[in-house]
Every structure is written in C-alpha cells, then in structure tokens.
Amino acid sequence: MGVQSATTTRLGIPGFNSTVVLTTMLSTLAAESQLGGGSGANNARRVLAIAAMFAGGLAGAALTLRTAWLAPLVVAALLLGVVSASAGGEPGRQSAR
C-alpha cells in the first residue's frame, strides 16, 4: 500500500485519498525526499506529523495500561475541546490563508 501511495503522490493523481494517514505520510516523506528523487520540501513538517502521531499513540497506550480505561477518552475529549475552542470563528466558515 505504501508503494501505491508513493506512486500516486508522485504522479499527482487528483482526488486520491489514502485510507491510512500514517502510511500516506511515510510514503510521501519517502517519495518527496532527495534520496527518492524529490525536492525534500516540507519534510520537516512531515517528520513532525509522524512524531506527533507516534507520541499520541504512545501516550494513549501508557494511559490505557497505567490508569483507568476511561483516561485516554477523557484526555482526547479535553484536547478536542481545547482545539475546537482555539479554532474560533463562525461555525462553517473557513479562515482566510
């Protein structure tokens, strides 16, 4: 699946959306790296995203194994609330970039 995702990313097929975010991120990192023939642009952002997913999984596993089973859900709900509140703006309206 990673090879397919890297190939379609490299070919620029419009509308392609991988079902696995981490696989897509890893294959894009490999395809866009200088070693893979790409420019290497935005690789720092991709590495950071992969590290964030890994850290989130690690934190969730630690909470599940070391605390009550509900703890990861409470942390996720709080995080969702903080991110939603910080997004601000009117519902349904996209911010200008």
Kindly list the domain boundaries of the chain, sorted by start residue: 1-41
| Token digits of residue 87 | 């997004």
- Taking the model in full, what pTM does it have? 0.56
Tens-binned pLDDT, residue by residue, of the chain (97 aa): 566 566 666 766 555 555 566 777 888 888 888 888 878 777 888 888 888 888 888 888 888 888 888 888 898 899 889 988 887 765 555 555 5
What do you get for the CA distance between the two ends of the chain, in Å?
33
Look up residue 44 and give its two tokens.
């720092």
CA angle 26, 28, 32 (to 5 degrees): 125
- The set of residues, in sequence order, having a beta carbon less than 8 Å from that of 71 and lying 6+ positions away, is 63, 64
